[in-house]
Structure 1
Amino acid sequence: SHLGDFIEDPTALAPQDAASHQLLKEQVMDVLSSLTPRERKVLELRFGLEDGRSRTLEEVGREFNVTRERIRQIEAKALRKLRHPTRSKKLKDYLD
């Protein structure tokens, strides 16, 4: 055994936190899967759900070859869908 085996890693998540994080990620993916592929991709890009880097309306618009206003509309519609009780109740437990 090495000294490094006994030194706590301050950046590591506690096992309970890691499990909660994984469950939340699975629930978010489940809820997003109820959207259209376009809506899901817009939210993933806007909020950085894939790579941690959130994009502007302009950047997402360029990727889809539409205006930033159209992206705003798609985003708003997708978020409205996610607020519906049948979807939002799956994530409520994680909002504490």
Structure 2
Amino acid sequence: PFADGEDNSLLDVLENSDSPIADKGLINESLSKEIDRAFSTLTERERLILKLSFGIGMPEMSLEEIGEKFGLTRERVRQIREKAIRRLRNTSRSNLLKSYLG
């Protein structure tokens, strides 16, 4: 016991590394929802280009591969990707995402 009259012991407060961390699962789920909300501010093409560029939910592709898929030059894909990133940074949701990502 930590104090007289208490029933708890050190074993009651030690972390059990074998048990799953519920908070981590909840945080990941919330982060995923916030990413979806932030991505909803982008056009479909911007969303796909970002997801393909960074491998979000699909295999990562190079700018050239994405360009071939969309019939665009590598440079145009880069421009679209950068514009989408700027738009995400300037949304009201960006501060919330920053709190998740550090």
Fold similarity call, TM over 0.5: yes
Alignment correspondent of 1:89: 95
Amino acid at match of 2:46: E
Could you list the runs of 5+ residues in structure 2 that have no partner in the other structure? Answer: 1-17
Deviations 1:29-66 (A, max 9, x none): 11001101110110011111112x32110111111011
Over the residues paired in the alignment, what is the CA RMSD in angstroms? 1.6
Gaps of 5+ in 1: 1-7
Instruction: Report the AA paired with residue 44 of structure 1.
Output: K
Q: State which structure, 1 or 2, has the greater radius of gyration over its C-alpha atoms.
A: 2
Where does residue 45 of structure 2 map in the other structure?
38
Runs of 4+ in 1 over 6 A off after TM superposition: none
Letter matched to residue 65 of structure 1: G
Distance in 1 between residues matched to 2:36 and 2:78, nearest whole Å: 21
Q: C-alpha separation between the residues in 1 aligned to 2:57 and 2:51?
A: 6
Given the two structures, how large is their TM-score scaled by the length of structure 1? 0.80
Q: Structure 2 length normalisation: TM-score?
A: 0.76
3-state SS in 1 of match to 2:33? helix
Mapped to 2, the partners of 1:59 and 1:14 lie a distance apart of 38
Structure 2 residue 27 is matched with structure 1 residue 20: yes
**Percent identical residues:** 40
* Paired position in structure 2 for 1:4: none
Deviation of 1:95 (Å): 2.1
Aligned twin of 2:10: none
Q: Report how many aligned residue pairs link the two structures.
A: 85
d(CA) in 2 for partners of 1:87, 1:20: 16
